[in-house]
Amino acid sequence: MDEASLYAIALSMVPEIGSIRAKLLLDHFGNAADIFKAKRKTLEAIEGIGTTVAQSIVNWKDLAFAEAELQLCTEHDITILHYHHPDYPSRLRHCYDAPAVLFYKGNADLNKQKIISIIGTRNNTNYGKAITEELLEALQGMDVLVVSGLAFGIDIIAHKAALENQLETVGVLAHGIDSIYPSQHKSLAKEMIAHGGLLTEFPQGTKADRHNFPRRNRIVAGMADATIVIETAEKGGSMITAELAWTYNRDLFAVPGKISDSKSAGCNQLIRQQKAQIYTSPKQFLKDIGWLNKPVKRQSQRLLFPELSETEQQIVDLLQKADSLHIDLLYQQSGLSSSAVAAAMLNLEMQNIVLSLPGKMFKLA
């Protein structure tokens, strides 16, 4: 029995907890099993938990549903990504409301060096379709993971164009992974599983209820380096996702449109509010996010700086192996705390050893 996955599923089901409190508890205890083994007074003492939530955890005795879900996942080749699983999306893990558990079917690396989310209206224009397809054609060969929500409109255009350009693509679902909504996208979803994947926080049997979509949107925004809004009205799911990306301090881009076009009103608003950078072309986007830098041939021997601390040298060694790395991957690959990495990066930048790039990317100078 996979105890870590079992209790992570159970934690996601306990009333009164939610993603934010679950993350507090997981950060405190290190794993879900120890949360359920803790005494009520211990739980109450954790800031943000309180008596009601602590009692709800203590009273939770029924693991039958979690056990059944675990069995279904095993039978259908679905990977359970609990909060501390090595394949859990590391960028998403650093969001304050990261899900305690994710269900994943596919083969794409959810921690690729380059990940973008593409979102937009369900009722796109030819203008939005052309821009989406042009961008993904430009990304061909760059090993970028493309994330969207498998909805009508810009989402499905992005998924299709990604596959046509040999890019892996992941659809984030607002329901259980055992069904596809809308049903018209079933055949494409199967193709995505073979060349990307499907991801959700909802157990099998969960329907695509309206209140699930904002929860889905935070995963779309949180697991990517940048979110690109192609077309959207001033209200709706795409604006929720864009606001979340901005809240998470992710790079946010919006495609401008005519001021008289309601389908561009949301994009124009994000640009006007200076929450999103203006998107004008694939080349400009790649330049703004720092992905146009040509690889620099480095010497094969280890770069040694006698004046560096052990932590700083560790960061340098990791950056030597890649053209550039996202800050979340530096956390993950170094095994160091976020504060230790932040301090080391600051010193390395001050010594002009490391350069900071857009999109929270870093490279050796």
Give residue-wise pLDDT tens across range 173-188.
Answer: 999 999 999 999 999 9
Query: What is the distance between the alpha carbons of residues 192 and 197, in angstroms, rounded to a whole number?
Result: 5
What is the per-residue pLDDT for 306?
A: 55
Of the given ranges (227-231, 263-267, 289-293, 320-324), which has the lowest mean pLDDT? 320-324
pLDDT bin (cut points 50, 70, 90) of residue 319 is: confident
Domain ranges of the chain: 3-105, 107-289, 310-364
In the chain, the amino acid numbered 175 is H
- Across all residues in the chain, what is the average pLDDT? 90
pLDDT of the residue at 1: 61
% of the chain beyond a pLDDT of 70: 96
Place of tokens 């042009």: 134
pLDDT of residue 277: 95
- Of the candidates 130, 122, 186, 111, the residue with the CA atom closest to the CA atom of residue 148: 122
Does CATH place domain 107-289 in 3.90.10.10? no
Q: Tokens 């949107």 label which residue? A: 217
Residue 298 confidence (pLDDT): 43
pLDDT at 293: 61
pLDDT attached to residue 297: 42
Confidence of residue 75 (pLDDT cuts 50, 70, 90): very high
Q: What share of the chain in percent tops pLDDT 90?
A: 67
Confidence band for 354, pLDDT divided at 50, 70 and 90: confident
pTM of structure: 0.80
Other residues' Cβ atoms within 10 Å of the Cβ of residue 106: 22
Residue 94: predicted pLDDT: 86
How sure is the predictor about 300, in pLDDT bands with cuts at 50, 70 and 90? very low
- Residue 333: what pLDDT? 83
CA distance to 17, 96, 232, 317, per residue, from 99 (Å): 11, 9, 26, 32
Report the C-alpha gap between 148 and 182 in whole angstroms: 14
> Alpha-carbon distance 362 to 314, whole Å?
14
Which residue would you say has higher pLDDT here, 328 or 38? 38
Task: Categorize the per-residue pLDDT at 338 as very low, low, confident or very high, splitting at 50, 70 and 90.
Answer: confident
Q: Mean per-residue pLDDT for 152-169? A: 98
Q: What are phi and psi of 79, to 5 degrees?
A: -85, 130
360/41: higher pLDDT? 41
Q: In what order do the strands lie in the sheet with 79-82?
A: 79-82, 101-106, 196-200, 169-172, 145-148, 115-119, 226-229, 251-254, 277-278
Give the residue, 54 or 361, on which the prediction is more confident: 54
Mean pLDDT throughout 77-86? 92
Assign 248 to helix, strand or coil: coil
310-364: CATH topology is Arc Repressor Mutant, subunit A (1.10.10)
Mean pLDDT of the region 213-226:
96
For residue 365, name the pLDDT band (cuts at 50, 70, 90): confident
Least confident interval from 40-54, 128-142, 269-283: 40-54
Q: Is the pLDDT of residue 162 over 60?
A: yes
